[in-house]
Structure 1
Amino acid sequence: MTATETRSIADVAAAAGIPAHTGTSIDGPVGTAASLHLACALPAVTWGSELFGPLLMRAEHLATPLRYEGGELHLPDGPGFGVELDPDAVRAFARS
Protein backbone atom coordinates (compact mmCIF):
# COMPACT_ATOMS: atom_id res chain seq x y z
CA MET A 1 0.00 0.00 0.00
CA THR A 2 1.34 3.44 -0.85
CA ALA A 3 1.58 6.38 1.54
CA THR A 4 -1.18 8.08 -0.48
CA GLU A 5 -3.49 5.09 -0.04
CA THR A 6 -2.68 4.93 3.66
CA ARG A 7 -3.44 8.63 3.99
CA SER A 8 -6.79 8.20 2.21
CA ILE A 9 -7.82 5.39 4.54
CA ALA A 10 -6.70 7.36 7.60
CA ASP A 11 -8.65 10.41 6.38
CA VAL A 12 -11.83 8.32 6.14
CA ALA A 13 -11.20 6.95 9.63
CA ALA A 14 -10.63 10.47 11.01
CA ALA A 15 -13.82 11.76 9.36
CA ALA A 16 -15.78 8.90 10.90
CA GLY A 17 -14.16 9.32 14.32
CA ILE A 18 -12.63 5.86 14.13
CA PRO A 19 -9.17 5.44 15.69
CA ALA A 20 -6.62 3.86 13.36
CA HIS A 21 -3.58 1.66 13.78
CA THR A 22 -0.63 1.34 11.43
CA GLY A 23 1.87 -1.40 10.75
CA THR A 24 4.31 -2.60 8.16
CA SER A 25 6.00 -5.70 6.96
CA ILE A 26 9.34 -6.33 8.60
CA ASP A 27 11.04 -3.18 7.31
CA GLY A 28 14.59 -2.09 7.86
CA PRO A 29 15.41 1.07 9.80
CA VAL A 30 14.92 3.52 6.91
CA GLY A 31 11.51 2.10 5.97
CA THR A 32 10.55 1.99 9.63
CA ALA A 33 11.52 5.65 10.11
CA ALA A 34 9.47 6.60 7.03
CA SER A 35 6.46 4.64 8.29
CA LEU A 36 6.76 6.23 11.72
CA HIS A 37 6.80 9.72 10.23
CA LEU A 38 3.68 8.88 8.22
CA ALA A 39 1.90 7.46 11.28
CA CYS A 40 2.77 10.55 13.33
CA ALA A 41 1.41 12.82 10.59
CA LEU A 42 -2.01 11.13 10.50
CA PRO A 43 -4.44 12.41 13.16
CA ALA A 44 -6.50 9.21 13.04
CA VAL A 45 -3.57 7.06 14.14
CA THR A 46 -4.19 6.98 17.86
CA TRP A 47 -3.77 3.26 18.50
CA GLY A 48 -0.05 3.23 17.76
CA SER A 49 1.72 1.09 15.25
CA GLU A 50 3.76 -2.08 14.86
CA LEU A 51 7.15 -0.89 13.68
CA PHE A 52 9.55 -3.40 15.19
CA GLY A 53 11.44 -4.64 12.12
CA PRO A 54 14.83 -3.20 13.11
CA LEU A 55 14.64 -5.03 16.44
CA LEU A 56 14.73 -8.33 14.55
CA MET A 57 17.80 -7.53 12.46
CA ARG A 58 21.23 -8.85 13.35
CA ALA A 59 23.15 -5.87 11.97
CA GLU A 60 22.66 -2.12 12.36
CA HIS A 61 22.36 0.02 9.23
CA LEU A 62 22.19 3.48 10.79
CA ALA A 63 24.86 5.76 12.22
CA THR A 64 22.55 6.24 15.23
CA PRO A 65 20.05 3.41 15.79
CA LEU A 66 16.35 4.11 16.10
CA ARG A 67 15.43 4.61 19.74
CA TYR A 68 13.03 2.11 21.26
CA GLU A 69 12.31 2.89 24.89
CA GLY A 70 9.49 1.94 27.22
CA GLY A 71 7.76 -0.06 24.50
CA GLU A 72 7.75 2.95 22.16
CA LEU A 73 9.65 3.90 19.04
CA HIS A 74 10.71 7.53 19.28
CA LEU A 75 10.45 9.77 16.23
CA PRO A 76 13.90 10.71 14.85
CA ASP A 77 14.26 14.47 14.44
CA GLY A 78 17.02 15.00 11.85
CA PRO A 79 16.65 16.03 8.21
CA GLY A 80 14.50 13.87 5.94
CA PHE A 81 13.34 10.81 7.86
CA GLY A 82 15.71 11.75 10.68
CA VAL A 83 18.14 8.90 10.07
CA GLU A 84 21.62 8.63 8.60
CA LEU A 85 22.98 5.46 7.06
CA ASP A 86 26.23 4.07 8.46
CA PRO A 87 28.60 4.14 5.44
CA ASP A 88 30.56 1.13 6.70
CA ALA A 89 27.37 -0.90 7.05
CA VAL A 90 26.28 0.12 3.54
CA ARG A 91 29.63 -1.10 2.18
CA ALA A 92 29.34 -4.33 4.14
CA PHE A 93 25.93 -5.05 2.64
CA ALA A 94 26.86 -4.00 -0.91
CA ARG A 95 27.05 -6.71 -3.57
CA SER A 96 29.30 -6.50 -6.56
Structure 2
Amino acid sequence: MTLKPLQDRVLIKRLESEQKTAGGIIIPDSAQEKPMKGVVAAAGPGKDKAPMSVKEGDVVLFAKYAGNELSIDGEDFIIMREEEILAVVE
Protein backbone atom coordinates (compact mmCIF):
# COMPACT_ATOMS: atom_id res chain seq x y z
CA MET A 1 0.00 0.00 0.00
CA THR A 2 1.22 3.51 -0.78
CA LEU A 3 0.38 6.40 1.53
CA LYS A 4 0.72 10.05 0.47
CA PRO A 5 0.22 12.56 3.33
CA LEU A 6 -2.02 15.55 2.64
CA GLN A 7 -1.27 19.25 3.21
CA ASP A 8 1.43 19.76 5.87
CA ARG A 9 1.48 16.20 7.23
CA VAL A 10 4.58 14.00 7.35
CA LEU A 11 4.89 10.20 7.56
CA ILE A 12 7.82 9.18 9.79
CA LYS A 13 9.48 5.80 10.34
CA ARG A 14 10.81 5.74 13.90
CA LEU A 15 14.52 4.83 14.22
CA GLU A 16 15.50 1.91 16.44
CA SER A 17 16.61 2.69 19.99
CA GLU A 18 20.01 1.78 21.37
CA GLN A 19 20.24 -1.74 22.79
CA LYS A 20 23.36 -0.99 24.89
CA THR A 21 24.60 1.90 27.01
CA ALA A 22 27.98 3.52 26.38
CA GLY A 23 29.38 1.38 29.22
CA GLY A 24 28.22 -1.85 27.57
CA ILE A 25 25.13 -2.57 29.71
CA ILE A 26 22.36 -4.22 27.69
CA ILE A 27 19.01 -2.48 28.10
CA PRO A 28 16.02 -4.87 28.23
CA ASP A 29 13.06 -4.15 25.91
CA SER A 30 10.79 -3.38 28.87
CA ALA A 31 13.09 -0.55 30.02
CA GLN A 32 13.62 1.07 26.62
CA GLU A 33 11.80 4.26 25.74
CA LYS A 34 10.49 4.91 22.25
CA PRO A 35 13.04 6.97 20.34
CA MET A 36 12.10 10.53 19.44
CA LYS A 37 14.07 10.36 16.20
CA GLY A 38 12.91 9.14 12.83
CA VAL A 39 13.27 9.27 9.06
CA VAL A 40 10.74 11.05 6.87
CA ALA A 41 9.13 8.36 4.69
CA ALA A 42 6.77 10.74 2.87
CA ALA A 43 5.74 14.38 3.06
CA GLY A 44 2.69 16.26 1.85
CA PRO A 45 2.89 19.18 -0.59
CA GLY A 46 2.57 21.88 2.09
CA LYS A 47 -0.21 24.16 3.22
CA ASP A 48 -1.36 27.54 1.90
CA LYS A 49 1.29 27.61 -0.86
CA ALA A 50 4.08 27.32 1.73
CA PRO A 51 6.53 24.55 0.76
CA MET A 52 7.50 21.87 3.27
CA SER A 53 10.78 22.38 5.13
CA VAL A 54 11.40 18.61 5.32
CA LYS A 55 11.67 16.09 2.52
CA GLU A 56 11.74 12.32 2.16
CA GLY A 57 14.90 10.84 3.73
CA ASP A 58 15.47 13.64 6.30
CA VAL A 59 16.26 12.51 9.85
CA VAL A 60 14.10 14.49 12.29
CA LEU A 61 13.52 14.91 16.02
CA PHE A 62 9.99 15.13 17.41
CA ALA A 63 8.21 15.29 20.77
CA LYS A 64 7.62 12.05 22.68
CA TYR A 65 3.83 12.07 22.22
CA ALA A 66 3.65 13.82 18.83
CA GLY A 67 1.49 12.55 15.99
CA ASN A 68 -0.58 9.40 15.57
CA GLU A 69 0.89 5.92 15.31
CA LEU A 70 -0.26 3.61 12.53
CA SER A 71 0.79 0.35 10.93
CA ILE A 72 1.13 -0.10 7.16
CA ASP A 73 1.94 -3.55 5.76
CA GLY A 74 3.31 -4.63 9.16
CA GLU A 75 5.59 -1.59 9.59
CA ASP A 76 4.98 1.04 12.26
CA PHE A 77 4.89 4.71 11.32
CA ILE A 78 3.88 8.03 12.84
CA ILE A 79 1.91 10.65 10.95
CA MET A 80 2.15 14.21 12.24
CA ARG A 81 1.93 17.82 11.17
CA GLU A 82 5.12 19.52 10.07
CA GLU A 83 4.85 21.94 13.02
CA GLU A 84 5.24 19.01 15.46
CA ILE A 85 8.77 18.33 14.14
CA LEU A 86 11.33 19.93 16.43
CA ALA A 87 14.50 19.75 14.30
CA VAL A 88 16.18 18.23 11.26
CA VAL A 89 19.38 16.30 12.06
CA GLU A 90 22.17 17.04 9.57
Q: Quick check: TM above 0.5?
A: no
Could you tell me the TM-score, scaled by structure 2's length? 0.25
- Decide which structure has greater helix share: 1
Larger RCO, structures 1/2 (Cα 8 Å, 6+ apart): 2
- Decide which structure has greater strand share: 2
